[in-house]
A and B are shown apart, each in its own frame.
Chain A
Amino acid sequence: MATVSQTSRFGNMFWTILAWVIALLFFFPIFWMIFTSFKTDADAVKPEFLFSFTPTLENYVNMTENYDYWRFAINSVITSTFATLLALVVGIPAAYAMAFDPSRHTKDILVWMLSTKMLPAAAVLYPMTFLTKNFLDIFDTHFLVIVVLCLINLPIVIWMLFTYFKEIPKEIIEAGKMDGVTTWGEIKDILIPLAWGGVASTALLTFIFCWNEAYWTVRLTTTEAATLSKLIEGNRAPEGLFFGRLSAVSTAAVGPIVVLGWFCQKQLVRGLTFGAVK
């Protein structure tokens, strides 16, 4: 008996250490980016300063000068925030109707919505450029980026909200109807307070997806509405002469989002598998 528990204790310790080592390895590139952001560009490429160096905040201080970071960051904040809000405004009523008053087409509509998400963006690259540049004259505007980000995330938003709303007992909504509450009142006073957690995590996840989007935000903007994705893709510094400053601007671009992501890792599964994995 004693030997069994002992081997399993050693076994346990082995697996625990292995889990830690692998987790640290996975985190290492992010750590390395943060670490390098405190080196000067000159130090960052010298092997003798790999681990011992004089830390400096120079890269962060000069971020505006080197990359005009804040302009892109503000664009990212504006477009991601408004795209998320717009998606919720359009998505909440739709998900409400689908969850509490489904018709026999509801299932088909939901599946169709998802299918729009699977359309390869590149296939409509030129028409989108053509329409927004020559026809609608909204190329490189915040408005365009907000609408596009909203549309590419709308299917996921509706799906997530739908799965959350379905967990609310129908009777509660019906009771509201009996009491003569209007639909708007139902959504505002009954549904949203009850599904608050679900709505919040949907919003958070949508915000993350908007922030990280790297196809349309790069290709439908030039300067005015360009986001952080565009900033990084435009400054890839092929021979790596600017490791320090590149690390600083990268850290500033992904740091807040990675932290946000930690808070909604559980909802991520629901959001990305459309409720198919529970």
Chain B
Amino acid sequence: MAKRTLPRLLQTPAVVLLLLWMLVPLSMTLFFSFIRYVLNSFNRPEWTSPSLSNWRGFGNYEYVLFNAKDFWFAVQNSLFIVVSILLLTVVLGLALAMLVNRSFPGRGIVRVLLISPFFVMPAVNAVLWINMILDPVLGLNGIAVAGINEIVNGLKDFPVLGAFFSLWPEIVPMSFRATQTSAYAVIIMVTWQWTPFAVLIFMTSLQSEDESQKEAAILDGATAWSRFRNLTVPHLARPIAIVVMIQSIFHLSLYAEIEIVSRGNGNKNLPYLIGEFTSNNIGAASATGIFAVILANIVAIFLLRMVGKNMMD
């Protein structure tokens, strides 16, 4: 008996801390989601403190689902951002992992350069991209477009060819802070940051690939493409699934990037919407929070299954 108590005792602090961390705030959110609770109300001061007498049942959920104007937009936009980033990082990550997974001069340096974006803090990533790179006037985006326009203008004075170039329109640089484009800015900067992560994981996995199987396939005359399709892709199926799920969990809760790019203008996700509700309507914020938990859980269940299956070997 004593043999069993000690290991249990050693785990207790970790388990208790995580249990408190998870249960206390979450049960408060759950409670708040069922009551009328606002931070400021001139007409109904009784709503400004959390109390059971303000019970609203599923009223907050109804409000969020059917009356709040941004909920469905936020869900849609969350998925748009996450799916776009996933597609880009997986495709780029696979291509780059294959490219770097050979021996060539300077491979170590190339790896270091490639992995660096992953360690940049999100706030700096966003500030750097939206200001210095994507800005339509002062950023490299604006400077590059202005440069192209200048070259085209110069070519218009050329004999013969000038007539051709004078048909070219003046290019207008894209502004990434606008309502329609702010989601693209977030997708670009997060893809830049997370492609290295995908590369790293795919590379680790490629290195454990069975070389003798590959050699046998070469001897049997299999083409490079069929080797890739029939040996490498099945081998990578699992790391791809892991990359997709881990990134989904992180990107479903993007915040700093969205805040810095456009303060949610034209580009919200559920966490951002919760943040907006939290400035006054706590009931709605909490109901939205419960929806976000459900959405994250759907993804998490798959990931936990996979990890759990693999962990004891």
A and B are interacting partners: yes
Name A residues whose Cβ lies closer than 8 Å to a Cβ of B. Answer: 12, 15-16, 18-20, 22-24, 26-27, 29-30, 32-33, 36, 45, 47, 50, 90-91, 93-94, 96-98, 100-101, 103, 107, 109-111, 113-131, 151, 154-155, 158, 183, 208, 211-212, 214-215, 218, 228-229, 232-233, 236-237, 239-240, 243, 246-247, 250, 253-254, 257-258, 260-262, 265-266, 268-269, 272-278
Mask for B237-250, Cβ within 8 A of A = 1, else 0? 01100100010010
**Cβ of B7: which chain A residues have Cβ within 8 Å of it?**
97-98, 100-101, 103
Which of chain A's residues has its CB closest to B195's CB? A26
> Any chain A CB within 8 A of the CB of B161?
no
> Any chain A CB within 8 A of the CB of B6?
yes
- B201 and A269 contact, CB distance less than 8 A: yes
- Give the distance to chain A from B61, nearest Cβ to Cβ, in Å: 14
- A26 and B117 contact, CB distance less than 8 A: yes
Q: A208–B119 Cα gap in the complex (Å)? A: 8
**Cβ of B160: which chain A residues have Cβ within 8 Å of it?**
none
- A258 and B120 contact, CB distance less than 8 A: yes
**Cβ of B14: which chain A residues have Cβ within 8 Å of it?**
90-91, 93-94, 113, 154, 158
User: Given the interface contacts A22-B96, A103-B4, does A122 sit within 8 Å of B17 by beta carbon?
Assistant: no
Q: On chain B, which size bracket covers the interface? A: 35 or more
Q: A90–B14 Cα gap in the complex (Å)? A: 6
User: Given the interface contacts A258-B116, A265-B111, A272-B197, does A233 sit within 8 Å of B256 by beta carbon?
Assistant: yes
**Cβ of A218: which chain B residues have Cβ within 8 Å of it?**
123, 256
Q: A254–B125 Cα gap in the complex (Å)? A: 10
Q: A159–B110 Cα gap in the complex (Å)? A: 29
- B110 and A273 contact, CB distance less than 8 A: no
User: Given the interface contacts A20-B110, A26-B113, does A276 sit within 8 Å of B307 by beta carbon?
Assistant: yes
Mask for B118-135, Cβ within 8 A of A = 1, else 0? 111111101111111101
Residues from 166 to 194 in B contacting A, C-beta threshold 8 Å: 192
- Give the distance to chain B from A127, nearest Cβ to Cβ, in Å: 4
**Cβ of B259: which chain A residues have Cβ within 8 Å of it?**
233
- Give the distance to chain B from A206, nearest Cβ to Cβ, in Å: 13
Which of chain B's residues has its CB closest to A272's CB? B246
Q: A228–B255 Cα gap in the complex (Å)? A: 16
Of A20, A118, A183, A236, which one neighbours B297 at CB under 8 angstroms?
A118
User: Given the interface contacts A116-B21, A233-B260, A261-B118, does A269 sit within 8 Å of B113 by beta carbon?
Assistant: no
Q: A158–B56 Cα gap in the complex (Å)? A: 41
Of B11, B115, B131, which one neighbours A246 at CB under 8 angstroms?
B131
Which of chain A's residues has its CB closest to B293's CB? A123
Q: A68–B113 Cα gap in the complex (Å)? A: 30
Identify 19 residue pairs between A and B in the complex whose beta-carbon atoms are under 8 Å apart, listed by A's number.
A22-B96, A26-B192, A29-B129, A30-B116, A30-B120, A97-B10, A103-B4, A103-B7, A126-B29, A127-B25, A151-B17, A154-B17, A214-B123, A228-B121, A233-B259, A247-B128, A254-B120, A268-B115, A275-B307
Q: Is the interface of A mostly helix, strand, loop or mixed?
A: helix
> Any chain A CB within 8 A of the CB of B234?
no
> Any chain A CB within 8 A of the CB of B308?
yes
> Any chain A CB within 8 A of the CB of B140?
yes
Q: A250–B131 Cα gap in the complex (Å)? A: 12
- A273 and B201 contact, CB distance less than 8 A: yes
Of A158, A250, A261, A276, which one neighbours B310 at CB under 8 angstroms?
A276
Q: A259–B22 Cα gap in the complex (Å)? A: 33
- A126 and B278 contact, CB distance less than 8 A: yes
**Cβ of A229: which chain B residues have Cβ within 8 Å of it?**
121-123, 256
User: Given the interface contacts A107-B312, A122-B274, A124-B28, does A254 sit within 8 Å of B114 by beta carbon?
Assistant: no
- Give the distance to chain A from B156, nearest Cβ to Cβ, in Å: 21
Of A33, A45, A233, A237, which one neighbours B123 at CB under 8 angstroms?
A233
> Any chain A CB within 8 A of the CB of B102?
yes
Residues from 82 to 138 in B contacting A, C-beta threshold 8 Å: 96, 99-100, 102, 104-107, 109-124, 126-133, 135, 138
